[in-house]
Amino acid sequence: SQTIHQWPATLVQPVGSPLSLECTVEGTSNPNLYWYRQAAGRGLQLLFYSVGIGQISSEVPQNLSASRPQDRQFILSSKKLLLSDSGFYLCAYSQGYNSPLHFGNGTRLTVT
Amino acid sequence: EDKVVQSPLSLVVHEGDTVTLNCSYEVTNFRSLLWYKQEKKAPTFLFMLTSSGIEKKSGRLSSILDKKELSSILNITATQTGDSAIYLCAVVRDDKIIFGKGTRLHILP
C-alpha cells in the first residue's frame, strides 16, 4: 500500500536559521509531489510541485526552495527563515490528474 | 489567473440541520474537482468529481459537479458535531492542484 511520511511534526526555529523539511512516499513510483502551506485555519497555498526527479515548479516567489533528489523524496528548504514563514506545511502526492491527492501529517513551523 | 472560491467562509448550524457548501472555479485545462475534510491535522479525502451531473455519495455526504456553471456543491444531511471541520475544495488542472480558502463548519449540539 502507498504511504507518505513527513517530518518533523513540529519545529520551532529562530529567524535567520535554515530549514529543511523532508517528505518521502512509499509504495508507488513516479508520483507527482506537492508542498503546500496553510495559514491558521484557512486554505492551502500551493508552494511547489514536481512531476519528476529534478523537475520543480514554483508557484509563489518567496524565501523557500524545493528539491527532488530521488523519485519519491521531496525536500523543502530555506537558507534564512523569516517570521512570515511560520505556518503548517503539508506534503502530498498524487498519481496524476485522475487520482486524488494524499497528504502527509504535516509540519507545524513556528519562526521566533 | 486560476481561481477557486468557496462559500460561505464559515457556517454555524445546529445538529440535525442540512448544510450546502459551494465551490466555484475558473481554471484552464480543468481535469477534476476534489473535496476534503480537515480537522486537526492533514486533510482527508472525501470525493473526486470529473463528470458533470453525476452525484457522488458517502453516507450523509454527497457532492455534484456542474461543469457548465463551473461549480460544485457538497451537501451534508442530518449534521452531527463530528462534522465540525474545515471543508476544502480543490481543482486539478494538468499537474497543478489549487485549493480554495475552505469553509469552516461548526455544528452546535
Task: Tell me the CATH class for B3-108.
Answer: mainly beta
Q: Could you tell me which residues of chain A have a Cβ less than 8 Å from any Cβ in chain B?
A: 32, 34, 36, 41-46, 49, 51, 57, 59, 90, 92, 94, 96-106
Residue A17: enclosing H or E segment and its boundaries?
Answer: none
Average pLDDT of the segment spanning B85-101: 93
Number of domains in chain A: 1
Cα A39–chain centre separation? 14
Task: Give yes or no for residue B40 having a pLDDT over 90.
Answer: no
Looking at beta carbons, which residues of chain A come within 8 Å of B41?
A: 105-106
Domain segments of chain B: what residues? 3-108
In this prediction, residue A98 has a pLDDT band, given cuts at 50, 70 and 90, of confident
Nearest to A50 by CA among A20, A76, A84: A76
pLDDT of residue B109: 94
C-alpha–C-alpha distance, residues A105 and B73, integer Å: 27
The share of chain A scoring above pLDDT 90, in percent, equals 82
B24–A contact, CB cutoff 8 A: no
- Angle A88-A91-B40 from CA coordinates, rounded to 5°: 45
CATH number at residue A96: 2.60.40.10
- The CA distance from A98 to the nearest CA of chain B, in Å, is 7
Contact assessment for residue A92 and residue A103, using Cβ atoms and an 8 Å cutoff: yes
C-alpha pair distances (Å), B40 with each of A12, A50, A89:
19, 27, 13
Contact assessment for residue A38 and residue A109, using Cβ atoms and an 8 Å cutoff: no
- β-strands B85-93, B96-99 pairing: antiparallel
Task: Give yes or no for residue B54 having a pLDDT over 80.
Answer: yes
Contact assessment for residue B23 and residue B5, using Cβ atoms and an 8 Å cutoff: yes
Q: Dig out the grid coordinates for B44 from the structure.
A: 482527508
Residue ranges making up the domain that contains A8: 3-111
In this prediction, residue A40 has a pLDDT band, given cuts at 50, 70 and 90, of confident
Looking at beta carbons, which residues of chain A come within 8 Å of B48?
A: 99-100
Average pLDDT of the segment spanning B65-71: 95
Task: Give yes or no for residue A108 having a pLDDT over 80.
Answer: yes
| Residue-averaged pLDDT of chain A | 93
- Residues A3-31 have pLDDT tens digits of 999 999 999 999 999 999 999 999 998 99
Closest residue in A to B93 (Cα–Cα): A97
pLDDT of residue A61: 66
Cα A20–chain centre separation? 10
Contact assessment for residue A108 and residue A9, using Cβ atoms and an 8 Å cutoff: yes
Task: Give yes or no for residue A41 having a pLDDT over 80.
Answer: no
Looking at beta carbons, which residues of chain B come within 8 Å of A36?
A: 99
Specify the 3-state DSSP secondary structure of A19.
strand
